[in-house]
Protein backbone atom coordinates (compact mmCIF):
# COMPACT_ATOMS: atom_id res chain seq x y z
CA UNK A 1 0.00 0.00 0.00
CA UNK A 2 1.91 3.00 1.19
CA UNK A 3 5.47 1.81 0.87
CA UNK A 4 7.50 1.28 -2.22
CA UNK A 5 6.54 -1.98 -3.78
CA UNK A 6 3.30 -2.31 -1.86
CA UNK A 7 2.41 -5.26 0.28
CA UNK A 8 0.41 -7.16 -2.30
CA UNK A 9 3.50 -7.84 -4.35
CA UNK A 10 6.54 -7.40 -2.21
CA UNK A 11 9.05 -8.90 -4.62
CA UNK A 12 10.45 -5.50 -5.52
CA UNK A 13 11.21 -4.31 -2.01
CA UNK A 14 14.81 -3.15 -1.72
CA UNK A 15 17.19 -5.69 -0.31
CA UNK A 16 15.12 -8.79 -1.07
CA UNK A 17 17.13 -11.85 -1.81
CA UNK A 18 16.26 -14.68 -4.11
CA UNK A 19 13.92 -14.79 -7.05
CA UNK A 20 10.89 -16.63 -8.23
CA UNK A 21 12.83 -19.85 -8.64
CA UNK A 22 13.93 -19.84 -5.02
CA UNK A 23 10.41 -19.90 -3.59
CA UNK A 24 8.37 -23.07 -3.32
CA UNK A 25 4.72 -23.40 -4.25
CA UNK A 26 3.59 -22.05 -0.87
CA UNK A 27 5.99 -19.13 -1.10
CA UNK A 28 4.66 -18.10 -4.48
CA UNK A 29 1.11 -18.46 -3.22
CA UNK A 30 1.70 -16.31 -0.17
CA UNK A 31 3.83 -13.72 -1.92
CA UNK A 32 7.26 -14.61 -0.52
CA UNK A 33 9.22 -15.12 2.70
CA UNK A 34 8.31 -15.48 6.38
CA UNK A 35 8.41 -11.72 6.92
CA UNK A 36 5.72 -11.23 4.30
CA UNK A 37 3.63 -13.98 5.88
CA UNK A 38 3.94 -12.14 9.20
CA UNK A 39 2.90 -8.85 7.57
CA UNK A 40 -0.10 -10.54 5.96
CA UNK A 41 -1.06 -12.08 9.30
CA UNK A 42 -1.05 -8.63 10.88
CA UNK A 43 -3.08 -7.20 8.00
CA UNK A 44 -5.60 -9.98 8.75
CA UNK A 45 -5.67 -9.03 12.43
CA UNK A 46 -5.98 -5.37 11.43
CA UNK A 47 -9.07 -6.27 9.41
CA UNK A 48 -10.51 -8.28 12.32
CA UNK A 49 -10.06 -5.07 14.35
CA UNK A 50 -12.09 -3.07 11.81
CA UNK A 51 -14.75 -5.80 11.87
CA UNK A 52 -15.11 -5.50 15.67
CA UNK A 53 -15.09 -1.70 15.69
CA UNK A 54 -17.44 -1.18 12.76
CA UNK A 55 -19.54 -4.27 13.52
CA UNK A 56 -20.07 -3.02 17.08
CA UNK A 57 -21.12 0.32 15.64
CA UNK A 58 -23.65 -1.29 13.29
CA UNK A 59 -25.27 -3.30 16.10
CA UNK A 60 -26.30 0.04 17.62
CA UNK A 61 -28.01 1.53 14.57
CA UNK A 62 -31.52 0.81 15.85
CA UNK A 63 -30.66 2.07 19.34
CA UNK A 64 -29.40 5.25 17.73
CA UNK A 65 -32.89 5.98 16.44
CA UNK A 66 -34.37 5.17 19.86
CA UNK A 67 -31.90 7.35 21.77
CA UNK A 68 -30.48 4.42 23.79
CA UNK A 69 -27.22 4.07 21.94
CA UNK A 70 -24.01 3.01 23.74
CA UNK A 71 -20.43 2.06 22.96
CA UNK A 72 -20.27 -1.74 23.07
CA UNK A 73 -17.14 -3.61 24.26
CA UNK A 74 -16.42 -4.87 20.74
CA UNK A 75 -15.82 -1.27 19.67
CA UNK A 76 -13.22 -0.69 22.38
CA UNK A 77 -11.47 -3.98 21.68
CA UNK A 78 -11.61 -3.35 17.94
CA UNK A 79 -10.11 0.13 18.31
CA UNK A 80 -7.32 -1.24 20.52
CA UNK A 81 -6.66 -4.01 18.00
CA UNK A 82 -6.40 -1.41 15.23
CA UNK A 83 -3.81 0.52 17.20
CA UNK A 84 -1.64 -2.46 18.13
CA UNK A 85 -1.76 -4.12 14.70
CA UNK A 86 -1.34 -0.79 12.86
CA UNK A 87 1.79 0.10 14.82
CA UNK A 88 3.10 -3.45 14.35
CA UNK A 89 2.51 -3.19 10.59
CA UNK A 90 4.50 0.02 10.38
CA UNK A 91 7.37 -1.62 12.29
CA UNK A 92 7.28 -4.82 10.23
CA UNK A 93 7.27 -2.97 6.94
CA UNK A 94 10.14 -0.74 7.98
CA UNK A 95 12.06 -3.73 9.29
CA UNK A 96 11.69 -5.31 5.87
CA UNK A 97 13.13 -2.25 4.17
CA UNK A 98 9.91 -0.77 2.79
CA UNK A 99 8.88 2.85 3.21
CA UNK A 100 5.59 3.84 4.80
CA UNK A 101 3.48 6.83 3.82
CA UNK A 102 3.98 8.70 7.08
CA UNK A 103 1.40 11.41 6.36
CA UNK A 104 -1.28 8.84 5.62
CA UNK A 105 -0.39 6.74 8.68
CA UNK A 106 -0.27 9.91 10.79
CA UNK A 107 -3.79 10.90 9.72
CA UNK A 108 -5.10 7.37 10.39
CA UNK A 109 -3.41 7.33 13.77
CA UNK A 110 -4.80 10.76 14.70
CA UNK A 111 -8.36 9.72 13.81
CA UNK A 112 -7.98 6.43 15.68
CA UNK A 113 -6.75 8.23 18.80
CA UNK A 114 -9.94 10.34 18.77
CA UNK A 115 -12.04 7.18 18.27
CA UNK A 116 -10.22 5.30 21.03
CA UNK A 117 -10.38 8.24 23.43
CA UNK A 118 -14.13 8.66 23.01
CA UNK A 119 -14.92 4.95 23.23
CA UNK A 120 -12.62 4.47 26.24
CA UNK A 121 -13.93 7.44 28.24
CA UNK A 122 -17.58 6.60 27.56
CA UNK A 123 -17.25 2.81 27.72
CA UNK A 124 -19.32 2.45 30.91
CA UNK A 125 -22.01 5.00 30.05
CA UNK A 126 -25.45 3.40 29.70
CA UNK A 127 -26.26 5.76 26.83
CA UNK A 128 -24.22 8.27 24.88
CA UNK A 129 -25.13 11.26 22.72
CA UNK A 130 -26.01 9.90 19.30
CA UNK A 131 -23.99 12.65 17.58
CA UNK A 132 -20.90 11.51 19.49
CA UNK A 133 -21.66 7.92 18.57
CA UNK A 134 -22.19 8.90 14.95
CA UNK A 135 -18.87 10.72 14.95
CA UNK A 136 -17.05 7.51 15.92
CA UNK A 137 -18.71 5.68 13.03
CA UNK A 138 -17.88 8.49 10.64
CA UNK A 139 -14.23 8.60 11.70
CA UNK A 140 -13.93 4.82 11.37
CA UNK A 141 -15.40 4.82 7.87
CA UNK A 142 -13.16 7.77 6.98
CA UNK A 143 -10.14 5.73 8.09
CA UNK A 144 -11.24 2.78 5.95
CA UNK A 145 -11.39 5.02 2.86
CA UNK A 146 -8.13 6.75 3.71
CA UNK A 147 -6.58 3.26 3.91
CA UNK A 148 -7.89 2.10 0.56
CA UNK A 149 -7.97 5.29 -1.53
CA UNK A 150 -4.84 7.17 -0.45
CA UNK A 151 -2.05 5.65 -2.49
C1 LIG B 1 -9.95 2.96 12.57
C2 LIG B 1 -8.69 2.90 12.25
C3 LIG B 1 -8.12 2.20 11.06
C4 LIG B 1 -8.75 1.64 9.98
C5 LIG B 1 -10.25 1.58 9.69
C6 LIG B 1 -7.72 1.07 9.15
C7 LIG B 1 -7.97 0.40 7.96
C8 LIG B 1 -7.02 -0.25 7.22
C9 LIG B 1 -7.28 -1.06 6.05
C10 LIG B 1 -8.67 -1.31 5.45
C11 LIG B 1 -6.11 -1.52 5.61
C12 LIG B 1 -5.85 -2.42 4.40
C13 LIG B 1 -5.79 -1.57 3.18
C14 LIG B 1 -4.66 -1.87 2.28
O15 LIG B 1 -3.68 -2.51 2.69
O16 LIG B 1 -4.76 -1.42 1.14
C17 LIG B 1 -5.08 -0.99 6.47
C18 LIG B 1 -3.74 -1.21 6.30
C19 LIG B 1 -2.76 -0.66 7.11
N20 LIG B 1 -2.94 0.08 8.26
FE21 LIG B 1 -4.70 0.66 9.01
N22 LIG B 1 -6.49 1.27 9.72
C23 LIG B 1 -6.68 1.96 10.89
C24 LIG B 1 -5.72 2.37 11.78
C25 LIG B 1 -4.37 2.24 11.58
C26 LIG B 1 -3.34 2.80 12.43
C27 LIG B 1 -3.61 3.58 13.72
C28 LIG B 1 -2.15 2.47 11.89
C29 LIG B 1 -0.75 2.77 12.34
C30 LIG B 1 -0.40 3.37 13.44
C31 LIG B 1 -2.41 1.72 10.69
C32 LIG B 1 -1.46 1.20 9.85
C33 LIG B 1 -1.71 0.45 8.74
C34 LIG B 1 -0.69 -0.09 7.88
C35 LIG B 1 0.80 0.07 8.08
C36 LIG B 1 -1.36 -0.77 6.87
C37 LIG B 1 -0.75 -1.44 5.65
C38 LIG B 1 -0.63 -2.87 5.69
C39 LIG B 1 0.07 -3.29 4.42
O40 LIG B 1 -0.31 -2.80 3.35
O41 LIG B 1 1.00 -4.09 4.53
N42 LIG B 1 -3.77 1.59 10.54
N43 LIG B 1 -5.65 -0.22 7.45
What was the pLDDT predicted at 131?
96
Q: Please say if the pLDDT value at position 110 is more than 60.
A: yes
To test the ligand 1 pocket, which listed residue (41, 44, 58, 89) has its Cβ within 8 A of the most ligand atoms?
89
132 CA to middle of ligand 1, Å?
23
Specify the pTM: 0.83
Q: Is 105 in the pocket of ligand 1 (CB under 6 A)?
A: yes
* Nearest of 46, 80, 75, 81 to residue 58 by alpha carbon: 75
Find the range with the poorest average confidence among 4-8, 25-29, 44-48. Answer: 4-8
DSSP H helices, the chain, are: 25-30, 34-59, 61-66, 73-95, 102-121, 130-149
Q: Please say if the pLDDT value at position 46 is more than 90.
A: yes
Q: Distance between CA atoms of 119 and 136, rounded to whole angstroms?
A: 8
* Integer Rg of the chain from CA: 18
Q: Please say if the pLDDT value at position 47 is more than 70.
A: yes
pLDDT, tens digit, for every residue of 121-131? 999 999 999 99
What was the pLDDT predicted at 64?
93
Ligand 1 atom with least separation from CA of 8: 40
Helices 73-95 and 34-59 cross at an angle (nearest 10°) of: 160
pLDDT, tens digit, for every residue of 76-108? 999 999 999 999 999 999 999 888 999 999 999
Amino acid sequence: MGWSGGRRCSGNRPGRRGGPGREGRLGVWLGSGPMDVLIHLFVGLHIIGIAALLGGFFTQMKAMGEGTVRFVPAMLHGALTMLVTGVALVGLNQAEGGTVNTVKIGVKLALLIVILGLVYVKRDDETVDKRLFGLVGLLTVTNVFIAVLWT
